[in-house]
Amino acid sequence: MTQAIFETGGKQYRVKEGDELFIERLQLEAEDKVTFDKVLAITDEKDSKIGTPYVEGAKVEASVIKNGKAKKIIVFKMKRRKGYRRKQGHRQPYTKITIEKIVG
């Protein structure tokens, strides 16, 4: 089984074909195709290719399933005995993709 490590949105992901994962939001619609060319490493049963920093000619092809927002987290700041309280919510946007093909 071929695995790849690629970079997008400032993060690195290890994937194999058929994986579904949540990444930082991309400006794409559902059913769109996306290609990641910042591949750091590719491994399979026989061989491993490690990039410096990226593997030349390697790419990971995926399709977008949906865009959405994660569950809300609460950011609460307080200083005791001073009457200082700040409450703020945040929902991180994401794109859910499925890996179709690893080339390289």
Q: What is the 3-state secondary structure (H, E, C) of the chain?
A: CCEEEEEECCEEEEEECCCEEEEECCCCCCCCEEEECCEEEEECCCCEEECCCCCCCCEEEEEEEEEEECCCEEEEEEECCCCEEEEEEECCEEEEEEEEEEEC
15 vs 104: which has the higher pLDDT: 15
pLDDT for residue 92: 97
pLDDT for residue 1: 84
Average pLDDT rounded to a whole number, residues 10-27: 96
